[in-house]
Chain A
């Protein structure tokens, strides 16, 4: 299994967000689906230790994430947040940022193309891009780390239908071109069906069901 969550409890700001969550997420394309406030984003943040559970364990490929070097883990299991949060400067500097921290060179043009942007974006001011373009730059800078797993937190929640379709197309292409597992958080069951093969359904911090998308989210 890619991830195993074992009896995970998590509290944020005095509120229990996840309770007794036990679930497995296999290699490939999976999603964590549920309504707003069900604990999806919190669960995603546990997978690369942006947060730790109050009790229980999170295993990545059979090893407790707490036994891994946290920085290496985050470069291997890279999270793209829900809203764009780019650094000041141009697109190229943003794309190179994480890879440079890891001491790697980046082919900026290549990762921009993987994220659905052309080379001309490299010199543009990141702060002047549209939300959809910024979201693609967020994706590009994650891809620059050459991760084995991408964690995507509602990657299209701030986008219109056209941009959503384009991002979904890019994500599908990425999976075909790169040896990459994806865990996607979404409240949109139709999107879960389009992009994922496996689903963990959450409601009020509890796992309601886990299994193949075709079984749990029928068309």
Chain B
């Protein structure tokens, strides 16, 4: 496979024209998102450029230890970022850390174990980044919902506890809804893939000149692995995090967040 695309910095800058339009629309409608747009653009530029150099260095070194170190950093940063979204969940960092770690280990272990990818930096780094990033978003959405619902439905939860329900039984409907909210985007995008949505890996391979069938097969492997990883991360994060709202004696703790 050869990469037949050479993008200049000027062309990269020109692609900002659509962001400028979005910014203008935002200003017109006073959505208050303008600073978020700028921060997103600047951060994506800095982070992607930096990670580009890091990945290049790891490829040059061809060291699995460096890959593991990079994935550990991504998991830590992912858990930290998702914790910010799940501000109403007490002690959300540890459940998120465990969830993202499990998702990364299970996914990379599977694709390497099945022999789909060689255990080389060229494969492990992009797959690891994709899995951790998507798992982080799904887990953050689920925990955000969990925190909001438990705060909103505290009286209903306590009324259920008062009937002799355990904290698991009292929280079960909310945990189910939180899981659904984290998983619905990946379920929907998997359902519509190839129809109204072309996944990134396939697009990248096609742009790079690969055969469409090869691109499809690799995309299916990644799509299904990603599906599993997101499900694992969301399940683990939600199932560990809801416990932090309760004492060991099935009492609802006082809210601690904003």
Could you tell me which A residues sit within 8 Å of B by CB distance?
A: 12-13, 48-52, 70-72, 74-75, 78-81, 83, 85-88, 97-98, 101-102, 138, 141-142, 145
Q: Tell whether B34 is near chain A: CB-to-CB under 8 Å.
A: no
B173 and A88 contact, CB distance less than 8 A: yes
Q: Tell whether B158 is near chain A: CB-to-CB under 8 Å.
A: yes
Query: Given A52-B249, A97-B165, 18 more contacts at CB 8 Å?
Result: A48-B162, A49-B251, A50-B158, A50-B161, A50-B162, A50-B252, A70-B249, A71-B166, A74-B164, A75-B164, A78-B163, A78-B164, A81-B155, A85-B156, A85-B160, A86-B156, A87-B156, A87-B173
Nearest to B250 among chain A residues (CB) is A70
Q: Which one of B156, B165, B169, B249 lies within 8 Å of A49 (CB-CB)?
A: B249
Q: Cα distance A48–B165 when bound, in Å?
A: 13
20 contacts between A and B (CB under 8 A): A12-B254, A50-B162, A52-B247, A52-B249, A52-B251, A70-B250, A71-B250, A80-B162, A81-B155, A81-B159, A85-B156, A85-B158, A85-B159, A87-B156, A87-B160, A97-B160, A98-B163, A101-B169, A142-B163, A145-B164
A51 and B251 contact, CB distance less than 8 A: yes
Across chains A and B, the number of contacting residue pairs, with CB separation under 8 Å, is 64
Q: Cα distance A85–B155 when bound, in Å?
A: 7
A51: chain B residues at CB < 8 Å are 251
B251 and A102 contact, CB distance less than 8 A: no
9 closest A-B pairs (Cβ-Cβ)?
A98-B163, A85-B159, A75-B164, A85-B156, A79-B162, A74-B164, A71-B164, A85-B155, A70-B249
Asked if A75 meets B163 with Cβ closer than 8 Å, knowing A13-B254, A52-B249, the reply is yes
Q: Cα distance A78–B159 when bound, in Å?
A: 10
Q: Cα distance A132–B158 when bound, in Å?
A: 20
Q: How many residues of B contact A (CB 8 A)?
A: 19
A88: chain B residues at CB < 8 Å are 173
A87: chain B residues at CB < 8 Å are 156, 160, 173
Nearest to A142 among chain B residues (CB) is B163
A138 and B164 contact, CB distance less than 8 A: no
B163: chain A residues at CB < 8 Å are 74-75, 78, 97-98, 101, 141-142, 145
B159: chain A residues at CB < 8 Å are 81, 85-86, 138
**Would you give the 0/1 interface string for B202-228, flagging 1 where the beta carbon is closer than 8 Å to chain A?**
000000000000000000000000000
Asked if A101 meets B165 with Cβ closer than 8 Å, knowing A49-B251, A70-B250, the reply is yes
B162 and A101 contact, CB distance less than 8 A: no
Q: Cα distance A79–B156 when bound, in Å?
A: 13
Q: Cα distance A78–B128 when bound, in Å?
A: 51
Query: A185 → chain B, closest Cβ, in Å?
Result: 14
Q: Which one of A48, A72, A83 lies within 8 Å of B155 (CB-CB)?
A: A83
Query: A40 → chain B, closest Cβ, in Å?
Result: 16
A13: chain B residues at CB < 8 Å are 254
**Would you give the 0/1 interface string for B125-169, flagging 1 where the beta carbon is closer than 8 Å to chain A?**
000000000000000000000000000000110111111111001
A102 and B164 contact, CB distance less than 8 A: yes
Query: A16 → chain B, closest Cβ, in Å?
Result: 14
Q: Cα distance A48–B160 when bound, in Å?
A: 13
B155 and A78 contact, CB distance less than 8 A: no
A85: chain B residues at CB < 8 Å are 155-156, 158-160
